[in-house]
């Protein structure tokens, strides 16, 4: 099966069939080639219904999870987005296809460099990537705040206040919160008056968020 055929099958069976209805998200999932973001040994499994190892004890998320988290952000194309945890760069590529600008931070240098190469190969030059590999590196990207949307691709024990503070009014934060074994996806929206509303989505399992705001 060709990658194009496998990608269309993935979107129809794993994304649309499970209730992802945002047309722009569906089109982005059809457009971005997931197989270039996985290790060559796993390329044949790139469109399977599962997460896959990408090295450095990290994973690329299940396609449905990527689509769901993206849909929860409600992107229209004008947003300035912050991503915590670049990883393979696949989620970054989906965001960059749907938003105006993406700021993404990764703590593992080899992953960040590989992700940058993949993003550049797709001409996704609206992505600013920072490597936070030093001890005590602050979470977020305070000097570029506020953000219209923030996505965290690692499980946290609680919602980091430093991230909600970096949300613009009416901005949305999507983050997995729970223990190190299992989390729930949360969507936190900053209201115009500065208060926050939280909605709980599905159960999930991510690698742990590392640092002062994580594990």
Averaged pLDDT, 150-154: 96
H/E stretch holding 68:
helix 63-73
Task: Give a yes or no: residue 195 inside a domain.
Answer: yes
Task: Give a yes or no: residue 117 inside a domain.
Answer: yes
What is the C-alpha separation between 213 and 188, in angstroms, rounded? 17
CATH number at residue 74: 3.40.50.150
Q: How confident is the model at residue 134 (pLDDT cuts 50, 70, 90)?
A: low
Task: Give a yes or no: residue 214 inside a domain.
Answer: no
Residue ranges making up the domain that contains 145 = 3-204
What is the C-alpha separation between 120 and 115, in angstroms, rounded? 9
- As beta bridge partners, residue 82 has 103, 150
pTM: 0.95
Averaged pLDDT, 35-39: 96
The pLDDT of residue 52 is 96
Q: Is 139 in a helix, a strand, or coil?
A: coil
Averaged pLDDT, 94-114: 97
In this predicted structure, which of 87-91, 131-135, 161-165, 184-188 has the lowest mean pLDDT? 131-135
Task: Give a yes or no: residue 48 inside a domain.
Answer: yes
Read off φ and ψ for residue 170, nearest 5 degrees. 70, 10
43 in Cβ contact with 109 (< 8 Å) = no
Q: Which residues have CB under 8 Å from 125's CB, separation 6+? A: none
For residue 64, CA distances in Å to 33, 100, 135, 148, 176 come to 15, 23, 33, 23, 15
The pLDDT of residue 215 is 59
Averaged pLDDT, 136-148: 89
The residue with greater pLDDT, 135 or 61, is 61
Long-range pairs for 188-195: beta carbons < 8 A, 24 or more residues apart: 188/159, 188/164, 190/164, 194/169
Catalytic residue from among 61, 121, 137, 201 = 61
The pLDDT of residue 136 is 65
Share the mean pLDDT of the chain: 94
Task: Give a yes or no: residue 211 inside a domain.
Answer: no
H/E stretch holding 72:
helix 63-73
Question: Could you confirm whether 61 is annotated as catalytic?
Answer: yes
- As beta bridge partners, residue 208 has 155
Question: In this prediction, what percent of the chain has a pLDDT beyond 90?
Answer: 87
Domain count, the chain: 1
Task: Give a yes or no: residue 171 inside a domain.
Answer: yes
Task: Give a yes or no: residue 213 inside a domain.
Answer: no
């Amino acid at each position: 099966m060709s990658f194009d055929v496998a990608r269309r099958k993935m979107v129809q069976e794993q994304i649309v069939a499970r209730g992802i209805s945002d047309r722009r998200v569906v089109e982005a999932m059809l457009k971005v080639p997931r197989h270039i973001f996985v290790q060559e040994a796993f390329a044949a499994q790139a469109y399977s219904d599962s997460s896959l190892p990408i090295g450095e004890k990290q994973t690329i998320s299940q396609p449905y999870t990527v689509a769901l988290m993206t849909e929860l952000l409600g992107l229209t194309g004008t947003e300035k987005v912050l991503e915590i945890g670049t990883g393979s760069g696949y989620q970054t590529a989906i965001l960059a296809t749907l938003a105006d600008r993406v700021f993404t931070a990764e703590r593992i240098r080899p992953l960040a460099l590989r992700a940058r190469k993949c993003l550049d190969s797709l001409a996704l030059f609206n992505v600013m990537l920072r490597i936070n590999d030093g001890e005590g590196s602050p979470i977020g990207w305070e000097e570029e705040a506020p953000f219209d949307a923030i996505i965290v691709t690692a499980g946290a024990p609680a919602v980091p206040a430093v991230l909600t503070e970096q949300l613009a009014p009416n901005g949305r934060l999507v983050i997995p919160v729970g223990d190190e074994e299992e989390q729930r996806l949360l969507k936190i929206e900053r209201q115009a008056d500065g208060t926050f509303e939280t909605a709980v989505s599905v159960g999930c399992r991510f690698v742990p968020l590392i640092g002062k705001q994580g594990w």
